[in-house]
Amino acid sequence: MDLQMPNKRLVGGIELGGTKSIVAIGYNDGTILERISLPTVVPELLIPQIAAFLQLHREQRGEILALGVGAFGPISLDPNAPNHGKLLETNKPGWSGFDLASALRSATGLIPNIVTDVASAGIAEAHLGALKASELGVYLTVGTGIGGAIIYHGKPLPALLHPEIGHVALQRHSTDTAPSSCRFHTNCAEGLAAGPAIMARFGQSLRHFAPGSAEHDLIADYLGQLCANLVLTLSPQRIILGGGVGQTPGLIDATRAAMLDRLGGYAPDAVAYEQFLCAPHLGQDAGIVGALCIAGHGSAISENLSGGCKSWQL
């Protein structure tokens, strides 16, 4: 379902990823005018770089009216929580407990509208891409980690925190004895099938292995298990598989086959269609496009000035 867009205006967007961050200015219809890619270093170094980029383009293009952010997590997005806008315990050094909302507000003068990075990508796909015709869809990203967003009528489904789909437990193959790359869980999807897990197990990225190889099939089965669990729990109308690992040639087709095998016929016929599990139509731009789209949507955002942050709400 399309998001209801207010009048077109100049906004800023940030896709705060675990490895790199994209900062852009553009319009709140998702149009990107300028962008920069920055390594996601410690916040004390990254936040000033973000602010400097936005200030430079304020001087060149005019006032930036709002700021949208898709951030890696876990992060508190409950507007009523005392830690609203803060990162929780994370694997990313220097970021646990960091008050992202307050830091961005202080550095840029703008109140950030914050969702998770994967929710930002899902919002963009709901507005402009593969989820436009879906009332209920799931966006999965498989890269440095595995994240997921449940998108209902174009917006993230409200939750106690936010979905941690990457930490769903999977059935480990009996021959797979590699240690989990997740320090919290021994058999979660992220610990078994995200980029670091693949590198630790095989010594190189999945792109070095051909579809049909044992290595390729192992990761496809783990992701197929995850997608089968989502079909059974949420019954979505579409699942998008994005992220760097998700772009591996042949992986979506192999994951679809593994998903159907794990479902054992216990699912609607539509799940077998090629378009049910698909790549993002916006590719790697989905996250930053979504950040621009959510900037300044006052009617759809609950503001909490004491936390210095706004959060996307249904």
Give the list of residues 6+ apart from residue 59 with CB closer than 8 angstroms, or none: none
Closest listed residue to residue 128, CA positions, set 144, 151, 106, 102: 151
- HEC string of 179-216 equals CCCCCCCCCEHHHHHCHHHHHHHHCCCHHHCCCCCHHH
3-state class of 287 per DSSP? helix
Q: DSSP 3-state helix, strand, coil percentages of the chain (rounded to 5)?
A: 35, 20, 40
Q: What is the pTM of this model?
A: 0.89
* pLDDT recorded at residue 90: 86
* pLDDT recorded at residue 308: 40
List the pLDDT tens digit at each of the 314 positions of the chain: 344 545 789 999 999 998 899 999 999 999 999 999 999 999 999 999 999 999 999 989 999 999 999 999 899 998 888 999 999 988 789 999 999 999 999 999 999 999 999 999 999 999 999 999 999 999 999 998 999 999 999 999 887 888 999 999 999 999 999 999 998 999 999 999 999 999 999 999 999 999 999 999 999 999 999 999 999 999 999 999 999 999 999 999 999 999 999 999 999 999 999 999 999 999 999 999 999 999 966 433 333 223 344 444 44
* pLDDT recorded at residue 304: 29
Q: How far apart are CA 244 and CA 225, in angstroms?
A: 19
3-state class of 223 per DSSP? helix
β-bridge pairing 146-152 and 155-156 = antiparallel
* pLDDT recorded at residue 6: 53
Contact 84, 304 (CB under 8 A): yes
Q: What single-letter DSSP state applies at residue 246?
A: G
Q: How far apart are CA 309 and CA 42, in angstroms?
A: 21
Angle (CA) 2 123 40, round 5°: 155
Closest listed residue to residue 256, CA positions, set 217, 220, 281, 216: 220
